[in-house]
Amino acid sequence: MPAHTESPSVALVTGGTSGIGLSIAQALLQDGLKVVITGRDPGKLDTVVRSLKMEDDHFDVAGYACDVRDRGAVHDMVDRCAKEHGEPKVLVNNAGRSGGGVTAAIPDDLWLDVIDTNLNSVFWVTREVIRSSDAIKQPTGRIINIASTGGKQGVPYGAPYSAAKAGVIGFTKALAKEFAAHGGPTVNAVCPGYVETPMAQGIRASYAKLNNVTEEQVLADFEAKIPLGRYTTPEEVAGMVRYLASPAAASVTAQALNVCGGLGSY
């Protein structure tokens, strides 16, 4: 009679088709988890899932097209994930966007979209996973939210982004303490600083336009603020997530941990 092989734990990673989210998916796959990623673009999602499967025959990865701003779509995505791949034991709320400008000129639609994408979606996805998954509610469950050093110290011309990420940190700590009293999962936030991603390139372009300087000057100014003198890589952020998702981090909860080259010191 063949030996029973336990199914791998399931990790759900929102916004997993590029940048930090893709690096997180790769790291968790390397640790033997089954990883389900989401993204808004079905074509890009399919391409990324195929690419990840080609990296290693042992990678167990799937994807769902989902706009995390849509509560109905979030409900359906989490329900399908639990039924088709297993209840998530690890949740990484990574989906997000940049957004800002001169605060007095920020239109309502931009403010609301940044808040929906970066903050409200974290609540909506987390709530649905908690409702759908007994696995996530165990002491071995892990909820990891990607916040930002901007949520701790503010970003000039980034009021919507900073407000949303500050909200993610507050939500993380509140939920962590709620679960800690009942032996539930750990809940933590990871706070990247400047990370070299496609979104970072767009941010530099926006700052260059706002300040009437070149993108190269913006990059030099940003790097000058960072004690290590360079941007963080997506893989370095994923390394922190990988640790928090592991058994070694069982006593780490209600924390907002910086991965920022020294940019943030609290």
What amino acid positions are annotated as catalytic residues?
161
Q: How many CB atoms lie within 10 A of CB 123?
A: 16
User: Could you tell me which of 229, 221, 233 has the C-alpha nearest to residue 262?
Assistant: 229
Residue count of the chain, please give it: 266
